[in-house]
Amino acid sequence: MTQNLIVPLPRRIEHAALDSAMRPAPGPQAFNCYYSSSTDGDLGSLLGAPHYSYRFAEAKFISVFNAHRVPVNKLSMPEYYNTPEAMPEAIHRAGIPALHLIFRSAEQIRLLKFAWNVCCFAWEFEVIKDHTDIDEHPFLNQKRMLGLCDEIWVPCHYTKSVLESHGLRRIHVVPAPIAAPPDDPPPLLEALASLGHISVASLDYNFLRTRAQNRAACAEHSSTFLEYIGARLKACEKLHIYLTILNPEDFRKNIEAMLRAFDHFSLTRNDAVLVVKVLTAASRFHLLDVLSDVIPNKMASGAVFQSDNIVFFNEFLSERELSSLYCIADHYLCTSLCEGQNLPLLEAMAHGVVPVTTANTAMGDYINSENAVVIRDHRELNDCVHLAGTIARRPFSVQRCRAPDIQDALERSVELSRAQYVAMSALASEVTREKFAPDVVWTAISARLAAIASLAGGRTGRVGER
């Protein structure tokens, strides 16, 4: 590897100068690259845990660094290392500046003191916490914590505009990359067969029953995925398969409106099924507990619900199995109030699945009426205490779609002609390649690293010497 020449510059430099290319700069190999996150352990066991979604973004970013043979080392406690000399020699080249990617929520940001600290931050609300109350820990002040970083990478333009409106600067749109589907996607029957062993169940809930009674009722609607699809095909010659992937504990997902809309839709379209992959580890919740306890907590207090056209599972899937799941879907259904990037929706689109979705927040970067069936939503003042935006302690709005809006979009989706569907599918796939392909994201990353490196190859001094 060619040794890069680092030209010393004054320790204190203005951040604004980073956005102008002063001279040809060395590439990513000119950095000692590190990253940190707030979660450790097997990802399959973390599904549904606080901030687990950062691990997905982290994995996608690290994979693109690895693909370009740029080593990136994980630091469990970046704040522990005060100087470059304190770093283990095995992961730190002397005289080479350091880059630190931070995959954490704002209150958990920890700096590598001598590095250029980049926070990879997803946020989907119009407010952030920009003050510290009396007797409150200053780490809860999101603006303060984000402002400690040298720059912020956000996955969408919505987040960039929100942070800039709160006075933060040095923000760049660098989304998590979305890999292309396999060159040899499995045929439909093969994809179904690879998923056939998965345990699935339908929701059968009545607020008048005890939790144990609801659990037993859901158990009566349990089967394998292959048995379920086989039974549905006996009732109709062809199925319209809708897919959604969500954390059932996430109030952003608008679960009740989604389920009620699909239930009403399927009353006249018995050939339509909704497959719900719930992102929660089996070690945290058994599937029957998800159906009898977790999901009912998102429904109205007097809910009575049962539909054999909606089926749930929570088994962890390999990349190949997840690709098979996308391959069997005709549509991806998203009814979110807001999203930071929405990786499952983008992965489905990369496979050519036509979305039926809202187009708010992050989706505004890539969803339109030409590549998706757009669900109408309505701006309204938030009244849900469980949304992360409440940390700001100020009123804020969300874009909520209601069950009739979702049902209307579902009706429009089945009315698409074959030619219309094929055209939408192609455009859905195209937008992911143009905006989120690993090489596209790597170009954006390389541009940022070149800008950083153009000023003495990054930072080699202590934070107090900036």
pLDDT in the model for residue 28: 62
Task: For residue range 406-436, list pLDDT tens digits in order.
Answer: 999 999 999 999 999 999 999 999 999 999 9
Q: What DSSP element (H or E) covers 451?
A: helix 438-453
Q: Is pLDDT above 50 for 270?
A: yes
Yes or no: say if 274 and 244 are a contact pair by the CB < 8 Å rule: yes
Among left, alpha and beta (phi > 0; psi -120 to 50; other), residue 223 is beta
User: Would you report the helix, strand and coil content of the chain in percent, each value rounded to 5?
Assistant: 40, 15, 40
Please give the structure tokens belonging to residue 277: 């992959």
Q: Where are the domains of the chain?
A: 15-177+440-454, 188-436
CA distances from 144 to 258, 276, 289 (A): 37, 38, 40
Task: Please give the share of the chain, as a percent, with pLDDT higher than 70.
Answer: 88
pLDDT digits (tens, 9 = 90+) for 166-178: 999 999 999 999 9
Q: Does domain 188-436 have CATH number 2.30.30.280?
A: no
**Predicted pLDDT of residue 233:** 86
> pLDDT category, 185, cuts 50, 70, 90?
confident
Task: Give every CB contact of residue 221 below 8 A, 6+ residues apart in sequence.
Answer: 201, 202, 203, 204, 308
pLDDT, position 453: 84
Per-residue model confidence as pLDDT tens digits over 438-453: 999 999 999 999 998 8
How far does the chain reach from its first CA to its final CA, in angstroms?
29
Structure tokens that stand for 266 in this block: 């399927």
Distance CA 172, CA 163 (A): 11
Beta-strand relationship, 116-120 and 151-154: parallel
* pLDDT exceeds 60 at position 208: yes
Q: Give the CATH class of 15-177+440-454.
A: alpha beta
Q: Hey, do 15-177+440-454 and 188-436 end up sharing a CATH topology, with the first three levels equal? A: yes
Residue 285: CB partners within 8 Å, gap ≥ 6? 48, 293, 294, 314
Per the structure block, which two tokens stand in for 458? 């990054």
| Sequence letter at residue 359 | A
272-289: pLDDT as tens digits: 999 999 988 777 889 999
| Number of neighbouring beta carbons within 10 Å of residue 82 | 13
Residue-wise pLDDT for 112-135, tens only, equals 999 999 999 999 999 999 999 888
Judge whether residue 298 has pLDDT over 80: yes
Give exposure, 402-412, as e/b (b: 16+ Cβ within 10 Å): bbebbbbbbee
Do the Cβ atoms of 246 and 255 come closer than 8 Å? yes
* pLDDT surpassing 70 at residue 463: no
How far apart are alpha carbons 379 and 400 in whole angstroms?
6
> What's the whole-number average pLDDT of the chain?
88
- Residues comprising the chain, all counted: 466
Q: What is the pLDDT of residue 266?
A: 95
Pick from 70-79, 106-115, 279-288: least confident: 279-288
